Structures are given as structure tokens and as C-alpha cells.
Structure 1
Amino acid sequence: MKLERESIELLLKALEKLEDGFDLPEVRHDFDHKKMEEVIIAAAERMQNNYPYFHPLFAGQMLKPPHPIAKAAYMMAMWINPNNHAMDGSKASSPMEKEVVSDLAKMFGWSQHLGHLTGGGTMANLEALWVAGNIHPDKTIVASDQAHYTHERISEVLKLKFSKVATDESGRIEISALEEKLKGGNVGTVVCTMGTTGLGSVDPLKEVLELQEKYSFRIHADAAYGGYFRLLDNLEPETIEKYAHLDSVDSIVIDPHKQGLQPYGCGCILFKNPEVAQCYIHDSPYTYFTSDDLHLGEISLECSRAGASAVGLWATHQLMPPIKNGTFAKDLAKSRNAALKFFNKLYYSDHFFPLLKPETDIVVWGIEGKKTSEMSDQATAFFKKAEKNKLYLSLYKYPTSKIKNSKFAIDSEYLTCLRSSLMKPEHDNWLEEIWTRMLASI
């Protein structure tokens, strides 16, 4: 079945159980069901104009299908449509959100924390930098030149000073360049990217922590894409060590809608020190009365938030807890295996070459050639031909200044490469089919 539909049966059973919980007079709605059917079929026809994001042959951008349990639970919750801003509008889903946020905090080794779900990584990172700015209002936010572009944009929105630090040829923050910044004495927060969205590279967190002892600054870990890799044992030893130190940072962002099998949008912000709640203190004349417990809206910049996101993530955690050696971790390990197998195929190929060994499940590679300008043109042409062969990839511009010991002439500022996010567990079994279509696209 091209599109998984068994979750519809789960949804119908769940809706029956949900309805049993309300002993209320029936409300009749006068809907035009024939017109609704026409509209929904028209919408389905419009949605056909999409790439097949759900299929393993979509091996390009960072798009991972939600798990059937997440889809069914999310849709079931939409019949209630809770708002997880306050307990008044989310009596059941707010406690579920607190449970899943606690699960994620424990995954990083935190028994105490402050945090909540967000609409995505951008909002989660905004809250992290907003708190950082409250603690160090006149100091600079520092991130690598491979960090997500939103950090610079968020800093501009918050009127915070921002500075980029160079990265090495693998896309990781250069410790020597970072220390030069720190010597100036005006750095308040360093952003460590625990899995860049371009190359999948992980910043050297241990070394940054050593600099923190010397220069005293906050560390924010942007693990929106890569946070779940902390559960894996099939990473490189040095990468495992980087993730092992995440319990020592000040704040973490992780996006369950990236690797956590959730629908958009589901991000999460976590703070190690619960006392940062002081930054959020505000009053509302009508909102926080249903419970004396802390309402999620009292520790969030967002107001209305979809409680369905919490329900979908809660159901997923019940089925597949985010723990080492569990079903979730084993499925994620398949994506990592796929990336390593793909790397080996590229390495021994006569037509392609891997840019670097993948650190997570993102693989970037180039087309063999004599000079970078021609190789870039060939990569763009290959990308288009692969799409005609129903293999969906993405492109990535790599600075040629970082290329060392090349066998080709460098005559352009960037080398356009191909990029694959092998995020689906099924990619592990589909590599031969992917490779066949690649060879047919040369």
C-alpha cells in the first residue's frame, strides 16, 4: 500500500472510546455532506501535486513520515481540539505534554528541567536565545557558520548581538576560532549544533565545555535534528562521546517532528535550571484558574498551541519509548546503517565520491570530474534526471575553500553536491533500488 491507511481503523475505534467519555445532550450539525465530499476530494487532487515524502525513494530533504500511532492519536485529539496554553483548555493534554517533555529530558540525562513543546525548532530556539538574552542582555550569541540560519535571524529579532565562528572541512565549529571570540570577553552564549541540517555534523561539545570552564558562558545545544541520536550505539565513538555530554549544557532544543515520528509542528525547548521560569513570569486576568499547578502557558512565549501535538507524541512514547535499545532507537539505528552503507557505495564508485563520512544519517556526495564548476553543473543535471527516474534527492553548496587535497581543479566558490537525508528506517532495505536509479541517472 503506497499510503499507509490502517491508522484510520485505529482512529475510528479511538473516536468511539472518546465519545463514551462525555455524557452530554447531542448537538446536531446541519452539514452539507455532499458538498464536503466534493471539497475534500478536490483537496486530495491538489495534494497529488507533491513529492512522495512518505516513500523511501524520497531520499532528499529532511522529511520523515509520522508513525501511524502518532497520526491516529493526533487526529483523535483534533475532535476535542485542546489548546495547551492553559489547563482550562487542555485538562487532559497538558498533563500528557508534561509527561513527554519529561521523557525527553530524561533522554538527555536530566532529572530536573523546565520545558514544553513548541510549534517547531525555530520557536524553541527563539525561547532559548530569549532566556539567554535575559541572563546576559549585553553579551553576544555565538554560533558556527553551519548552524541553522534562524539563530542569526532570531538574534536580530531579539536585538541581541550575534557572531559567526568558522567551521572545519567537516562542518564542525572550530575550537581555536571559538576561543579567539571568547578571549574578547563579551560572549554570553555559544550555540552547539548537535547535527547540522546541511551535513549532519555534530559540534565538538566536550571541547566547548572545557572552554566554558575557562571563560564562563552559557551553552545552548541545538539538537533539533540530531538530538535522538544520543540513543544510538552505531555512531562513531567520538560522536557518541559528544552526545554523552549533552547533560552538561544549559538548554536543549529537539524537534520530535524531525526524527521523533511526529506530524508538524512539534518542537521542544528544555532548560536544565528550572529557575529560568522567572524570565517568563506574567499575569492573565482570565486564563490560569482551573488548576493551582503550573500552566504550560506560564513557561512559554507562545500562547495558543495544539494539544493534539502532545497527544500524538504521548501515544508514540507509550508504544516506543525514547530509550536506548528500544524499538524507537533500533529503527533510528537503521537510518544510520543506511547512511553508512550508502557512504561505502559512493566511496568505491567510479562516478561519485562522498564529501565526508556521515556522522548521523545525512550523506553528501559529488559527481566525479576535472573542475568544480563542471562538477556543479553535472550535479544539477543529475538531480533533475534522478527526479525523472522517481528518485528524489536534494542539492547542497559546499564552500570550495574547505576542500583539502582534491583530485580536481577548484575554479568556483562553491561545489554543488547531492545530499540525502536517509531518515526513514526503510531506507536500509531500499538502498539497492536507490543505487540502481542513481546509476540510471548518470
Structure 2
Amino acid sequence: MADAALRLRTLAEDLLGGARLPVRIRAWDGSESGPPGAPLLVVRNRRALRRLLWKPGELGLARAWVAGEIDIEGDLYEALDQLAGLIWESDEPARSRREIARDPRIRAAVREMVALAGPLPPPPPPREEVGRRSGPLHTKIRDRQAISHHYDVGNDFYSLVLGPSMVYSCAYWESGEDGATTLADAQRDKLELICRKLALRPGQRLLDVGCGWGSMAIHAAREHGVQVVGVTLSREQAAYARKRIAEEGLTDRIEIRVQDYRDVADGPYDAISSIGMAEHVGSTRYLEYAHVLYALLKPGGRLLNHQIARRPQSDESSYTVDEFIDAYVFPDGELAPVGRTVSLLEDAGFEVRDLESIREHYALTLRHWVANLEASWPQALRMVSPGRARVWRLYMAASALAFERNRIGVNQVLAVKTPVSGESGLPLRSREWR
């Protein structure tokens, strides 16, 4: 009988419609098969196959990865890049489940997988997976639970990944060359860019929606003299932000609240920043989100909406969320094409004045975060479970490649609550931000 690695390789290529697998495989019996020098996919346990039998596709693979039953040895980016063309970016037309089930090659491959996997029942999902959810999307209670899953995993872990800036959104790089800019410098430059786009001046009031660990609030208060209210649904973030603010001597200028943005009732504000928060809002609530922020601004006030976007699809009704991201990273998170975001902001009354795409900047940022995590892997495993650390490594590396390949993007949208007079308050050459 052929060794397990060869059987796995043949099985995978049959399931992929005969496409050649671009990675080498090492199986649980120590056997290897595939092109020498290629990235090595390690299948440590046949439980991984049982997961795929019971949950075919991305979620089954994700469960095996999180459980440590499959792994990559060598360059993770190269392996994901090689596999992307087969898994996420295949040019083959999508087939229905009925067509797949009738394919004799697929049926034979499934029988082979059953023989390799063994007769045991499917293993339970890794504990890092979000449990069953019920009820309407994006209620205040459900949003609070989703935010807690992602952000309340330990401030020390986030500090290890994000570095001292503690900014969990795309940085703004001066150059893509290695060493040209530090992560801390690039995050500072991103915060300063936002402050300049908002034209913050001493004495103004800024609302920072989804304030995270307080970095934007601290920068705006310290460098631009504004009064800031930051809101977050994460208690761990709020506690960390308040400690930093006290250490900076800015408690008289910054208030951090554990509060849903829908419950903010002390407007009007001169400006609002929303940095990496709107991805959590969801398509069913996005117009409400835009209306709430519009109502909280003074006439002439500005909104800076910094948000990840996906590419539009020919049939938007067929869009589904990424199973791995939804189960392990951002429960209930949704990405929308930037055109839809702009349209909904305009529907709420905003005048959209500027859109800046900074897609490549996020790829650079993510590669720095992955490097931070990999450089401190033993320390990370003392802070969180091995499964949680594996979630983060895969999520960030795959996301970096998705930005590089233009599968997703990130945009800063500057919008104004333009008064009846029509005076937007922006300079004629708006890119000179002042």
C-alpha cells in the first residue's frame, strides 16, 4: 500500500480537479511526497481528514490548523501564496453541490479520504471557535459578545503583536523598503494624517468611535489640544486606555467609555474618527451607523471613516462571509465594497469629499505584526492558548497576502456634514490638509 503522504497528495489533486498541488506533504507516518524544496504541508494527525469529511472547505481546514493537526514548515507566506490560486483564486467556474457529488473522481476521492481518516466520529471544534450564535445580527448584546471574543484576549498579547504604539489598524508608511520606517513611526504618521484630515484645533471635541487602547485619543489630545471621548465595547481595552491616559497626564482631556456608539447622546462633536471599527457594524446596520454619526456632528463637522473593503462581486446576493474569519477572528464582521460605503454615507446626509486607498500600507503593517508574533512565539504561548496564537498567525499572514493581491483593500473616507450654506470648510486644494 502506498505511503500516507502519496495517498494524501493524490487525494488532494483529485479533489482539486486534477490540479497539481504546489506544496510538499509530510504525513503522520513520516512519509513525504511532492516537489523538493517546495513549502512543506505537515499533516500531523488523521483527525484533520475527519474534520474535512464532516465540514468540507475552509472551516474544516481552519479547525485542523487551529488544533495543530496541520501546519506549514518553511515560509508561511510562500505556502499560502502557492495555495491561493487553488483555494481562493481559482479560475475554474463554480460548480453546484450536485455537480460535485456526481463527479466520479470526487466520489472516489471521498472514499479514499474515508479510508485514510478512519471510522471515528468528528472531533469537537477547537475551543477558540465562537459558539453557536442565535438571534438577529448586530444587536447591542450580540455585538458586545463579538467584540469581547476578539479584543478581550489579553492586553499583553496585543502589545506583543502591535508593539508599543498599540494601534490595531493599518499604519501609514513612508516607504516600502525594509527599515525605512519603523512600525511605531508609521502608526504615528497614520494618526497624524487623520488629525490633519479632520482639521483638529485646540478646544474642539472629538468622538473616537471604537477607540481601542486609546492611541488616537492620546495623539489627538496631546498633539492637537482637543477634548476627546473614546468609546469601545471592550472592557480590557478601556482599562488599558485609561491607564495610558493617566500616565500621559491627559485625564482632564480624554474620557474613555465602555459604550455602544448607538448610545452616545452628548453631541454635537466637531469631528468623529472611526478607525477600523466600521467592519463590525454589518450591512444591515450600516445606514443606521451613518445616521448616528451624522446626528452627532456639528454642521460643518468632519468624519474620517477608515475601513477595510472587499472587491465587489458580479452577484452581490451570493456574497458570504469568510468561514475562518467568522468562526475564529471577527464574529459577525462584514466587509463591503467601498462604493457601497460611500453611497450609504451619502444617503445619511454626508458630503463625501475625499477617498484615499492605502491598501499596500496594510500589507506592510500585517507583515510587521506577523514578524512580532513569530519573534516572540514562546512568550505568546504563555499569554494565550496555542490555538489562539495559531489563529492570529494564519489570519494576519493570509490577510497580508489578500491586501497584496488586491482581494481586499482599505480606505480613508473623509465626509462632511455640510451646512445649508454649502460651506464645507475644506481648503480648495484639499490634499494639503490643514
Shared topology, TM-score over 0.5?
no
Q: Higher relative CO (CA 8 A, sep ≥ 6), structure 1 or 2?
A: 1
Query: What TM-score comes out, normalization by structure 1 length?
Result: 0.29
Query: What TM-score comes out, normalization by structure 2 length?
Result: 0.30
